[in-house]
Chains A and B, each alone.
Chain A
């Protein structure tokens, strides 16, 4: 007869590579190109006598004058060699699972090489930049955590931007009128309120969640701009809330590099780190987390075991709003201490991107926040070093990275299965 019984195809008979192998090949080639680029531009782009000096302590710190002086060309050459080696490993396609790790390490090394190049013949405060990285990452991470709280229960929160903006505004006004702590609380509550609005529109009225998010963003931009012009211009005293001071943690704060980055900041930074940890353990080790995730993955299954899907969603979306409110408060009560129209300028969307980049995981969100914070810090510091790279390109970087991430170049990430779908029962 015609059918062949249970043979199984051999590898040689295949006329195409598996997607995983194709990706490894692409990444491998990319890494080799990257290595050549690093060597060519950053290695040969400096004088052979240049040294780059990285300052590893801030002026006035307990342990001052910690420096790292390095031969610029030599370091870049070494880094290029390492990247090329990793690229070669990836190309061999024996360890497919390590493709992403190799990619991540290579990109970090490229960043280091870039800094060496930019600081060639100069002195550069690496620790200053790392501190900025942490500070700039805070609103992004908080935005990502806010989005994560919502999407883990399958509500898309594209209104992070509007929530940040509105709470920044309310924090400013209340903070100026009363005091900074009350302003802070008001900001968080307003974030919660907007979270509740999103929840009602999405859960009660089944509005498409992206439309609901866009609406909240337009509404927030319109209302804050309207009020800023109508109220803040008339009463400028309502636009100076002051700011939260930093609180150094004894001993840890004096550790070089790590100290100023993580242990000599204000309470928003500590709060963010604590939130990341709490949400991580909450999501994966508690009843609340198990139920939330089940609602995000398979709401009907959750419903059939008696979990109130809607209540769970309301609760988490409102909590997500609170976290965005915290981020908004950070913007005006910690960073700039006054409100301006459209002050957020897209940070909320970067937060959304960080959530995706971080694969809907709290620590992923933090890591992505730090990456984006690094890009923004770089953009600020490069002006000082006077590199020929236009700042607009660095501004674009987070957005380009996001597109690369969602395009799956860094591997396919998997959102909660029910993400974006309303749950309707009889």
Chain B
């Protein structure tokens, strides 16, 4: 089993996403495709999977050139893909998802559910996946959903398995399980490509690492003679400082205190179940945990975006449990939201309009009724300069900016005040290393000026680099609290919900 991509080029309108990319992988091998967000990794894999048609280049399997007009062709050629955002129908059962597109049927297209169940059970037991064929997808934890994706791929007799950022949704312990599965597949002679932007796991898991930058393959290395520093430099194109520089925290008075908070999600599921913690001025508290364990709801409840079912949120001793988002914002709370495109920005609006998005209703931007656009533009010009937002102008739609610059627009808007409390969710998700460094330094800067800071991130590295104190959430509850000297393993265990023997208290 040999797969070779050669000279792959993909031109999107205005963007050269892949530029003469070459890649080879053979059976029984694990290849890591490493690169920053936007380096062109996923485009390449979507070409391999027949979702995009390459502008130029060739895909060869065992020496024969193949052309894929759709995923169907790729599947037939033995290529399987586990997407970062799982391609599972949430309301279907495991068996239904596995058979979709490849259904065993009786007469008249009547589905043969028994056979589908049997397939799931067989693959599940062969690779130790432990998946119930009749479970509904949306009821399964993310780790199991990923296994369903793997079963789906294996049920189609795939020989090349592509994993797109497979560990980004897993707990450290689930990652261990995932590694076992990958090794099982490798031993079975499958070729594995996994896409990542994480240095550590690439070094740990891969037999070979191909590094992409700006749509090109820039290097191919073996983990043995590599370290993280060198790998980062190859990935980014310049030396990178992997550590956030900060002095020890000097915690002051308590700014935020959360008591016994209970919050429901949109489907009335109790996502936060009796959580209590405090954040003091001059310290950064990080909330770690796999996504979907209540972090989103906590932040929304604190910032007034979601009503709480029980408990209290207090800011400097004042009860703000039922306060509106605006009144909380007026108390000098800065909020960098989890999903900048969904809630932090109004994408079709200009940079100026986004800069004044939460201050438009008062002086100097308006008198409460009439907008003062010249004043808004003045402010936008100043902040774009001050926060180093790379934009062709303040009147262009913010949707045309890169992810990093979009995030800087939000940071500029939120931090340009005398902030007492900062809450930042996934502050650096999906942005380039340069912007990550900049935003981290801004957050530490706010702390040093005496603000209380709450960081939520599913990237454990980010939490550990920034936080003075770490809270781990699991299934809506606090599963552990650590100081900044805690190890990955300790935190990882807590992320899985197992109560640690000793709690740093």
Contacts and interface: CB of A to CB of B under 8 A. Distances in A.
Query: When A and B assemble into the complex, do they touch directly, with CB atoms less than 8 Å apart?
Result: yes
A185 to B, nearest CB: 24
Contacts of B257: 2
Interface stretch (B27-35, B240-248, B271-279, B451-459): B271-279
Contacts of B108: 286
B110 A3 contact: no
A84 to B, nearest CB: 28
Given A2-B278, A3-B478, A9-B310, A307 B101 contact: yes
Interface stretch (B45-53, B298-306, B409-417): B45-53
A383 to B, nearest CB: 45
B51 A1 contact: no
A306 B101 contact: yes
Contacts of B83: 304
Interface residues of A, number: 39
Interface string B94-126: 001101111101001111000000000000000
A10 B97 CA distance: 38
Contacts of A307: 100-101
Interface string B435-466: 00000000000000000000000000000000
Interface stretch (A28-36, A156-164, A295-303, A384-392): A295-303
B49 A304 contact: yes
B480 A5 contact: yes
B89 interface: yes
Contacts of A298: 87-90
A16 interface: yes
Contact of B103 (A19, A290, A293): A290
B313 interface: no
Contacts of A291: 100-101, 103
Nearest to B474: A6
Contacts of B471: 3
A426 to B, nearest CB: 5
Contact of B75 (A4, A287, A305, A425): A305
A5 B111 contact: no
B123 to A, nearest CB: 16
Interface stretch (B198-206, B260-268, B387-395): B260-268
Contacts of A1: 469, 481, 504-505
Nearest to A15: B310
Contact of B87 (A18, A288, A301): A301
Contacts of A6: 474, 477-479, 499
B478 A13 contact: no
Given A13-B274, A287-B103, A5 B481 contact: yes
Interface string B455-496: 000000000000001010010011111000000000000000
Contacts of A18: 264, 268, 309
Contacts of A275: none
B481 A305 contact: no
B453 to A, nearest CB: 15
A300 B310 CA distance: 39
Interface in A302-325: 302-308
Interface centre among A300, A301, A426 (most CB of B within 10 A): A301
A298 B86 CA distance: 10
Interface string A258-295: 00000000000000000000000000011110110110
B81 interface: yes
A286 B109 contact: yes
Contact of B276 (A4, A14, A426): A4
Contacts of A305: 71, 75, 87, 100-102, 152
B72 interface: yes
B503 interface: yes
Contact of B274 (A8, A19, A425): A8
A345 interface: no
B307 interface: yes
Contact of A426 (B51, B97, B101, B111): B51
B109 A304 contact: no
B53 A9 contact: no
Contacts of B97: 301
B111 A304 contact: no
B477 A287 contact: no
A417 interface: yes
Given A290-B100, A291-B101, A294-B89, 8 more contacts: A18-B264, A18-B309, A288-B109, A290-B111, A291-B103, A297-B89, A303-B51, A305-B71
Interface of A: 1-10, 13-16, 18-20, 285-288, 290-291, 293-294, 297-298, 300-308, 417, 425-426
17 contacts: A1-B469, A1-B505, A3-B478, A4-B274, A4-B478, A5-B480, A8-B477, A14-B262, A15-B309, A15-B310, A285-B111, A287-B109, A291-B101, A302-B89, A305-B100, A306-B102, A307-B100
Interface of B: 46, 49, 51-53, 70-72, 75, 81, 83, 86-92, 96-97, 99-103, 105, 108-111, 152, 254, 257, 260, 262, 264, 268, 273-278, 307, 309-311, 469, 471, 474, 477-481, 499, 503-505
> Which 9 pairs of residues, A with B, have the shortest CB-CB distance?
A306-B72, A305-B101, A9-B274, A14-B310, A301-B87, A2-B278, A3-B277, A4-B276, A287-B109
